[in-house]
Every structure is written in C-alpha cells, then in structure tokens.
Amino acid sequence: MAMPTESTRVVIFDTTLRDGEQAPGFSLEVPAKVQMARALDALGVDVIEAGFPIASPADAEAVSQIAGEVRRPVIAALARCRPQDIDEAARALAPAARRRIHTFLATSDLHLERKLRISRDACLTAIVEGVRRARQSTDDVEFSAEDATRSDHDFLCRVVEAAIAAGATTINLPDTVGYTTPDETREFFAEIIGRVPNSDKAVFSAHCHDDLGLAVANSLAAVAGGARQVEVAINGIGERAGNAALEEVVMAMRVRNDRLPFDTGIRSPMLFETSQLLARLANEPVQANKAIVGRNAFAHEAGIHQDGVLKDARTYEIMRPQDVGQEPEQLVLGRHSGRHAVQRRCDALGLAVAAGEIDQVYRAVISFGEHRKIVGDGDLRRIVERLRSDTTGTPSAPDDANGGQHVEHVGYGHGV
C-alpha cells in the first residue's frame, strides 16, 4: 500500500468496525459486521479495520469471516505490541487476500509513566520487536504511536525511524484524545515527516478524535502536512466523541478541491445508504443536522432558502444531494415555508392548486405548522381538500381515523 507523500491520492482507512464499533452503544454481532464490511467494500474504502482479535472470540471471528468474504480492500486487524496479540491477529487474518497487522503502543510520557509504567527505551524495544514479529506474517504492517500528538517530538522521531527500519509500511500518528488544533496538526505532520530520515519508506496516517469537534479539520490538516492515509468511521462513530467522519472528510476534499487538491476512491453516491445501514444495524439514529448524511443536510424549510433553491440550487447547496445518495429538492413545509415551496409541493402531489387558491393553502400551511413541526404530504392533501369542501359546502373529513391525533411527520425527498 506504500505510496509517495507527493501523491494526491489519500488512502481511506475505515475503522467503523473497530474503533467505531467498540464505542458504547454501537456493538455489532458478527453477521452485522460482515454485512457492514461488504457495504464498506462497495463504498470503495481502501482498508477495512475489521476488529481487535485478542479482545474477544467474537472480534476474532468477525475479522476471520470478513477476511474470507471481502476480497478487494486490505483487511486490517489491531494488535498491541505484544506477541500474543500479533499472533492472534495473524491467525484471524489468515483467510484474507490482502492483510494488514496494525500494531500500536503509546509514546507520550503521560502514557508511559502513568498507564504502562515503562521507560522510553523499553517502549522503543517493544515497538521494534512488535513490528518485526508482525512482518513475519505480512509485508503490510502499520504502527501507531498512541497519543502521538502529546508525545515528545524528539522521542517520537526516534520511534518512527525505528518502526520503519523494522518493517512498518504505514506510520499512524493519532490524536488519540482529540487535543490538537488544525494548525498544530499540519505543522506536526510536516515536522515529523521532515525530520525522520527514512520517512519516504512509509505512508503517514492520521487518526483524529472529535473531543473538541475538530477531528475532520485535523484530518484534513494532517493531509496538508503530508499524511496520505486518514483513519475515519461512517457517521463519525468511535470512542467518546467519536472519530473523523468518513463522509465529511471525503466530501470536503471533493467540494473544496481547489484548497484540498486530493482524491479518494470513495463512491460518494453510496454514502447515504451506507450511513443508513450502520444506523439500522447499530440501532443508533443519525442526528438530523449531521453533515452530508443527516436527514436535514439538504432540507430547506425557510421561505427565503426555498425560493433560492427553486431558482438555482447552488444558492443554498454547495454540493448536489444526489452526489452523496440523498434525494434532491428536499423542501420541507412548515411555519417558515414560502408560497413557492407550497405551490411546488402541491404540483408534485398532483393537487392542481389554482393561482386563486394558493394564498389560502399557504396561510393554512403556516397555521398548521404552528402546531406541527412538519406539514407532511398527507397533511397538505387534507388542507387542500378541506378548503375546497368548505368552498363547495361539502362537510370536511376528520383529520384522521384517530380523532384528530394525526402523527404523520414525513420529510420530503427522504422516502421514509
């Protein structure tokens, strides 16, 4: 998988099934992990981190099944720099057509002194031995310096140089606790890559957490600083506040290619369905205003916005909804909507509202929207029917069969 730093191609390393799935509330059974791995393959990710085999028999089984069934991407398994971890990862990955052992050890003094209680020299020795052991099973070995962004830079450079010399082909410098800022991240990667004499022998990777809401920004900054792999997760799931969201990183590079001149192999029209699949498998809904894949990411209720989108979608949309697999023209009717959007929705539903009727329909929609968050298609049909029945003197039908307790809250363009 090694490629020169000068390349504009960024490797997408997906950790949804490892860092993402180990987050509270997101645990998946083995069949669900295999199903998700197939979806990630179809999406076009380069590397699927399928699990942490030493952690549990289920994790080992999931890695093994995915390795046997998903053949195009590299299948990675996580392992501490311990012989038993590395050997278990190698066993689980045995069926893979393309395999990677991803081994790690913390390098910050805080972790060495307070968590691991080992010296820097002991840490360095364990890393070299771990990488060498992993290389006995595969020529694709990734080493991660846990808590890299809070590590002493001189020591980190020694670690990286030694790991590459021992056979690591990818070096991950994670912002394990989401502490850094984008300017720091770019400078950090540029410095480490520039100072390590054999850095050209490995791909540098960023794994950023979202504790300060900066994971995506830091991942993009790392790429600007020389990283050519980003470790991401669908919907940004992961430990604590989560990982950098795959869909956001990919679309930032696609939409702002003028400032981020990089590319990936992701098939972006499949982003929404992949996001929805994960939400169903984990039984964890995506927040409505989530960038790219949230149900409101391309929805418009405010009249001014609706009018602009109807005239030219580019007025309020910086990418096309269909480019990420969402439905186009999601005009939501509510108390903030405008006449043009009401007319457009009536036309789409075949209601044939005449010019003389639209003001009445519009006022009824606004009034209805004061009591309901969203005016659904069924609500709009009933509004038009009631206005027309009032005009003709025909008694109007009740709101619904539940004595007025109508609960339709359907957004337009989502199909659900």
Per-residue pLDDT of the chain (416 residues; tens, 9 = 90+): 444 345 899 999 999 999 999 888 899 999 999 999 999 999 999 999 999 999 999 999 999 999 999 999 999 999 999 999 999 999 999 999 999 999 999 999 999 999 999 999 999 999 999 999 999 999 999 999 999 999 999 999 999 999 999 999 999 999 999 999 999 999 999 999 999 999 999 999 999 999 999 999 999 999 999 999 999 999 999 999 999 999 999 999 999 999 999 999 999 999 999 999 999 999 999 999 999 999 989 888 787 788 788 888 898 899 999 999 998 877 888 888 888 888 888 988 899 888 878 988 988 998 888 887 788 888 899 999 888 887 665 444 444 433 333 333 333 332 22
Give the closest residue to 145 by CA, choosing from 159, 131, 128, 165: 159
How far, in Å, CA of 162 to CA of 181, rounded? 27
Which pLDDT value is given to residue 301? 77
CB 328 within 8 A of CB 300: no
The count of other CB atoms within 10 Å of the CB of residue 212 is 15
How far, in Å, CA of 118 to CA of 112, rounded? 5
Which pLDDT value is given to residue 177? 97
CB 175 within 8 A of CB 149: yes
Q: 101 by DSSP, 3-state: which?
A: strand
Phi/psi region, residue 174 (left: phi>0; alpha: psi -120 to 50; beta: rest), is beta
CB 383 within 8 A of CB 361: yes
Q: Map tokens 């490995």 to a residue.
A: 202
Q: Beta 203-207 vs 141-146: how paired, if at all?
A: unpaired
* 179: Cα within 13 Å, side-chain hemisphere: 12
How far, in Å, CA of 218 to CA of 330, rounded? 31
In the chain, count H helices and then E strands: 14, 10
What global pTM score does this model have? Answer: 0.86
Written as six digits, the tokens of 194 are 């520039």
The superfamily in CATH containing domain 11-282 is Aldolase class I (3.20.20.70)
Q: Map tokens 């010019």 to a residue.
A: 355
How far, in Å, CA of 265 to CA of 391, rounded? 58
Which pLDDT value is given to residue 223? 98
User: Where is 286: in which H helix or E strand?
Assistant: none
How far, in Å, CA of 59 to CA of 242, rounded? 20
Q: What is the dihedral of CA 49, 182, 293, 18, to 10 degrees?
A: 20
Which pLDDT value is given to residue 97? 98
Q: Which string of DSSP letters, residue by residue, matches 196-252? A: -TTGGGSEEEEEBB-TTS-HHHHHHHHHHTT--EEEEBGGG--STT-B-BHHHHHHH
How far, in Å, CA of 332 to CA of 357, rounded? 20
Compute the radius of gyration of the chain from its Cα atoms: 26
How far, in Å, CA of 59 to CA of 162, rounded? 30
How far, in Å, CA of 6 to CA of 34, rounded? 34
CB 163 within 8 A of CB 143: yes
Extents of the domains making up the chain: 11-282, 299-392
